[in-house]
Structure 1
Amino acid sequence: MRCDDRVPVTVIAGFLGAGKTSYLNRRLASGDIEDALILVNDVGEVNVDVAAIDYRDDRVLSLSNGCVCCTLGGTLAEQLSQALRLKARPTEILIEASGVANPQRIADIARLAPGLELADIVVLVDASQAGRLALDAQVGELWRAQVHAAHRLLVNRLPQEDSARDQLLGWLGQLAPGAAVATEPVQVAPASSRTTSSGPAFWQGNGAKPSAEPFAERARHSGLTDATLHLRHPLVAEELQALLERYRDCLFRAKGFVRCRLADGEEWRSLQLSGQRLAWQSHGPPATGAVLVCIGRRGERFTRLMEELAQLDSETDTAPMAPIGR
């Protein structure tokens, strides 16, 4: 413990699907985190991300149904205060922020709280989406506020070409002055996304160049909305995936746990959709039950997506799933 007995706090941030949970799990697997307290914030009434953290259950706390930089500000301060009163005081506190959180506001809470010390703001960036998000009318300012707040900027899914990669990293360095910029050991961007993977290449093709001015205080996510769907029936994974693909224009993120119908039975799987990737993975029966959290652009398209998801769930010819534990 530090000689002044303050507990260091690290904020882990980044836009939806940037790789925050994967980064945290890699740190946990490396063994360099001991006796830490982990706070995980998620948008939606069910915290899907917290179930994916591979750490002691009593040291992972969930902050659901909001963004800790705004609606959950009071809850976060309370959790941090309680952490300092634990008999087994944590050696450090890690806060995984929501994908629509402004990390600077979370950092301010940690910075001002007695007994705590802000140690680091780590921001993950998906390079394959950077140019598109920087220019997006609804989330561009938020994305750039996240990047600008970083002490350390960790960039993954980089373009394969050296020149495009160097140009992208240089641009991100301008957006995050004073931050250390490093690359994350995640797969490179697929060939199909190369033309939009780097910020410079993307804006050159559209005639509009995002500036490197800070947007920390002006960023808002008023154009975003979220919805949580509790699934009553097992679904065919291919049908669900096809439906989500049709709404990529309004859907930024989808994640959850689905009981999938197979030719010879059923299987629990986790679903993660962000950017150009939709990934399925086998999973044990989750405590949340079958649930899907979607985050996207507010409007008729998103409303229609949720209606079609509910319809897909209701049209299955199998009986509803029994609640977990029965």
Structure 2
Amino acid sequence: EPDGVRYAVLVNDFGDLNIDADLVASHSGETIALANGCVCCSIGDSLVDALIDLMARPTPPEHILIEASGVADPRRIADIAVIDPDLLRDGIVVLVDAADVRRLADDRHVGETVLRQLAAADLLVVNKTDRSDVAALDALDGWLAGAAPRAPRLRARHADVPVRVLLGARTTMPSASQPGHVVGHGHGHGADRHVAGDHAHDDLHESGFRRALIDDLPTLDRHALSAFMEALPDSVLRAKGFVQLAGEATPFVLQRVGRSWTLKALPAGSAPPHLALVLIGTVEMPDEAALRTALARARQQI
């Protein structure tokens, strides 16, 4: 940030590859990647150690942002933010897929997790609003007001949100002259000054999910990759990874959320990444062997 404020970002990825850490590390500043697995499963371990290490630095950060996995319990993570008397819990920001959140909330495998995350929010960032019309967004706003009545709702495109909103989720909203559009009001509460008493390992939040790793990817034809991605069932909720496309000089970052997926070339001169895909879905998602077979079939058909 040009204002010289010291930030620390703790990155987590629910999968075998910490791809999110690789992506954030490509930006300026220092990134601390948490151990693989859900952050709230690391209570008393990786997350706590990372926070202690940060606060023990000669010049500790002024703001710490924790990016939890999509299956985490954000309230439990936020409770850890007061392990040091110099730490103050600021707020929980939940990113909402405007086109898909209601379907996921009704899903028998992940619905409870989705509703729990919404209820924990101090701020909802309703993303992908460019893919819905005004009537659909208004209907979604009413539904979110019931699911998270205390959280303001900020509409966004491409998750483009003013940084100061993320760093002041309880009290700070952008003015009319700034990017973003706030709908609803909600209300916040004072910062929690205690640590929850029961931090026992609880993996119920993860019981409705499956993950698969397609490792050591060969160079892929763009059409073969497209055929594979388009054929994935709705039980695949998320995919991310690095791929090398035939005829391209640099690898690409692949990101998939729901049915939408994108490719973005890595900057020239970037360190060569490990070519692999991590897929996350419900227990009905095809297993790793089936996914590998599907990719091989797509390559053979080109």
Q: How does 1:67-216 map to 2 (within 5 A)?
A: 67-71=38-42, 73-158=44-129, 160-186=132-158
Partner secondary structure for residue 231 of structure 1: coil
Q: Determine the C-alpha separation between the residues in 1 that align with 2:7 and 2:61.
A: 5
CA–CA distance in structure 1, aligned partners of residues 22 and 16 of structure 2: 14
Structure 1: distance between partners of 2:3 and 2:214: 37
Task: Give the aligned length.
Answer: 255
How does the TM-score come out when normalised to structure 1? Answer: 0.70
- How far the C-alpha of 1:315 sits from its partner, in A, is 7.5
Q: Distance in 1 between matches of 2:208 and 2:59?
A: 42
Distance 1:87 1:96 in 2: 24
Segments of structure 2 that go 5 or more residues without pairing to the other structure are: 160-201
Q: Secondary structure at 1:116's aligned position in 2?
A: coil
* Aligned-pair CA distance for 1:106: 0.5
Alignment counterpart, residue 231 of structure 2, candidates 224, 246, 265: 246
Aligned ranges 1:313-324 → 2 under 5 Å = none
Instruction: Structure 1 unaligned segments of length 5 or more: list them.
Output: 1-27, 188-216, 317-326
- Partners of 1:249 and 1:296 in 2: CA distance: 8
Output the TM-score relative to the length of structure 2.
0.75
Q: CA-atom RMSD, angstroms?
A: 2.8
- In the TM superposition, residue 100 of structure 1 has moved relative to its aligned partner by 1.3
Q: Which amino acid aligns with 2:102?
A: G
User: 1:102 deviation in Å?
Assistant: 1.1
Relative to its length, the structure with more strand (as a share) is: 1
Equivalent in the alignment of 2:194 = none
Tell me the CA shift for residue 286 of structure 1: 4.5
CA distance in 1, matches of 2:255, 2:118: 23
Whether the 8 Å CA contact 2:210–2:285 is kept in 1: the answer is no
C-alpha displacement of 1:131: 1.3
**Alignment partner of 1:280 is 2:263:** yes
User: Residue type of the partner of 2:263?
Assistant: W
Identity of aligned residues (%): 34
Inter-partner Cα distance in structure 2 for 1:127 and 1:120:
21
* 3-state SS of paired residue (2:278): strand
Q: Give the letter aligned to residue 121 of structure 2.
A: A
Amino acid in the other structure paired with 2:65: L
- Kept in 2: contact 1:43–1:64 (CA 8 A): no
Q: Decide whether aligned partners of structure 1 residues 111 and 312 sit closer, same or farther in structure 2, where only a CA change above 3 A counts.
A: farther
5 Å-filtered alignment, 1:19-34, equals 31=2, 34=5
Look up the equivalent residue of 1:279 and give its one-letter code: T
